[in-house]
Amino acid sequence: MCKKIINLGLIGFGKVGAGVVRVLQDSARLLEEKIGARPVLKKIADVDISSRRDVSVDRHLLTTELNDILDDPEIEVVIELTGTTLVAKRLMLKAMSEGKHIVTANKAVLAQNWAELFATAKKNRVGIFYEASVGAGIPVIQVIREGLAANHISRIFGILNGTTNYILTRMQKDKINFEEALDEARKKGFAEPDPSLDIGGFDSMHKIVILSNLAFGKKIEIKDVYVEGIDRIDEKDIRYGEEFGYSLKLLAIAKETGTPGVLTHQQRVGKGARHRTALHSMEKNLRPAEIEVRVHPTFLPKEHLLSSVEHEFNAIYIVGDLTGPIVLYGRGAGQMSASSAVIGDLIYLGRKIVGGNAGEISGLWEERRKGIKIKNIADVRSRYYLRFSVVDSPGVLAKISNILGRHNISIAQVIQKEERRKDVVPVVMMTHEAVEKNVQHALSLIDRLKIVKAKTVLIRVEDGTTFC
């Protein structure tokens, strides 16, 4: 403990940047105590250094020149909070090549450049810390990386975006439509002026790319993720889903199938050596490991814990082979919540710097499982909620179920609804598990039938059995 000061450079002085600065000021003594060295904010760079922030800083700290930070050899840690993508990537690469560690909240940059960024970190023996990039102050990154390090993680289900969860909650609880709910979210400050990243599912996509790279030790890129947003959700479907006992959530799903990892704890460790020999041959017969990653509106059983995650809250459901399910819940956005994560990383990293092993392996990432395949959405198995808009005449249901049957899709439940518009009635269905490409093919045939008057609505369903 001969190190007394750790110099920081902050790039990006927006809302979260200001929050971080405030914690650095207000909790200076506590931070020094926890780290064992004094973190000193040496420079703050932003394109705008004249607007007022809700924190006061010495004018001399401010600069519009990135290089005032990147070229300063005394600065050991760059806190990257720009919210940009290209600029952020360039500055992170540059900073690392100068031997600086990175703390960032930038999910888009991480999701787009994961392998490259970590390769650069490894080469330069620096760390990248990104707790704030998923779930803000919910320490999910650390939990996966360290707390569950002994586990083989087989599944992650995440409500990772507060805006969309707020909108869906309002639509479900207050029976308002998408536009009204989006308006409310805007008024409450839960939606950006341009909410398309959230609504379209892309924010959740960035986050699940990060979580699944981390959890599976497999390079997973944005192009590997199937994404569907909530902008086309009709409140009618939320209501019908409720009648079947389901809540609608924008769920980010990452699953490993076909591997030992999906055997339950009981199967794996239940009955001693003889049992494990049997298991071994079982494992050999399993399909090879595959990973599927997707983001889409999903019906969840109402009694499932994730269904009670309401409004702007986030939650992450993780299944480890040793722990079984673990859930983390909290506010997944907000200035101070994100600052908590950034400062938490800073404490963690600071301790490593003090200990002299900041470049060691635990902050980094390497692909451990190159062989494993990534599953195309077409091959995914799921249950489905389907709403057909059909003419009200005899034989309609027979025609539809005939096509479904030919595609190996069996029906679990049907509700036929009466409606004011008598020429078109909705037929609502819950299927048993089926293969996505079969469902898509069946629907393309059904939607061409004369008795079908509008495009069929499809919403995927995760039921209780997939959660263990």
Residues of this chain that bind its own copies (CB under 8 A): 1, 19, 22-23, 27, 31, 33-34, 36, 54-56, 131, 136-139, 142-143, 146-151, 265, 269, 271-273, 305, 308, 320-331, 334-337, 339-340, 343-344, 346-348, 351-352, 354-357, 360-362, 368
Q: Kindly state the smallest distance separating residue 59's Cβ from its own copies, in Å.
A: 16
* Of 315 and 390, CB closest to its own copies: 315
Nearer of residues 129 and 240 to its own copies, judged by Cβ? 129
Q: Which is nearer to its own copies, 294 or 304 (CB)?
A: 304
- The residue written with tokens 């509106």 in the block is 297
Q: Residue 16 has which token pair?
A: 């979260």
Smaller CB distance to its own copies: residue 111 or 338? 338
Beta carbon of residue 318, minimum distance to its own copies (angstroms, whole number)? 9
Residue 71 zone, left/alpha/beta (φ > 0; ψ -120 to 50; rest): alpha
Note if 453 is an active site residue.
no
Q: Given the complex with its own copies, which of 150 and 378 has the nearer CB atom?
A: 150
Nearest distance in Å: CB 98, its own copies: 23
**Coil, helix or strand at residue 72:** coil
Shortest distance (Å) from residue 368 CB to its own copies:
7
To the nearest whole angstrom, how small is the minimum distance from the Cβ of residue 325 to its own copies? 6
Smaller CB separation from its own copies, 272 or 394: 272
Report the residue number, 337 or 456, with the smaller CB distance to its own copies. Answer: 337
Q: How far is the CB of 155 from its own copies (least distance, A)?
A: 14
Q: Which of 89, 207, 255, 352 is labelled catalytic?
A: 207
What string of H, E and C letters represents the secondary structure of the chain?
CCCCEEEEEEECCCHHHHHHHHHHHHCHHHHHHHHCCEEEEEEEECCCCCCCCCCCCCHHHEECCCHHHHCCCCEEEEEECCCCCHHHHHHHHHHHHCCCEEEECCHHHHHHHHHHHHHHHHHHCCCEECHHHCCCCCCHHHHHHHHCCCCCEEEEEEECCHHHHHHHHHHHHHCCCHHHHHHHHHHCCCCCCCCHHHHCCHHHHHHHHHHHHHHHCCCCCHHHCEECCCCCCCHHHHHHHHHCCEEEEEEEEEEEECCHHHCCHHHHHCCHHHHHHHHHHHHHHCCCCEEEEEEEEEEEECCCHHHHCCCCEEEEEEEECCCEEEEEEEECCCHHHHHHHHHHHHHHHHHHHHHCCCCCHHHCCCCCCCCCEECCHHHCEEEEEEEEEEECCCCHHHHHHHHHHHCCCCEEEEEECCCCCCCEEEEEEEECCEEHHHHHHHHHHHCCCCCEEEEEEEEEECCHHHHC
Alpha-carbon span 192 to 179, nearest angstrom: 14
Minimal distance in Å, beta carbon 272 to its own copies? 5
For its own copies, the closer CB: 362 or 410: 362
- Give the other-Cβ count within 10 Å of 240's Cβ: 22
Residue 265: its H or E element: helix 265-269
What's the chain's Rg over C-alpha atoms?
25
Report in angstroms how near the CB of residue 33 gets to its own copies at its nearest: 7
Q: Which residues are catalytic?
A: 207
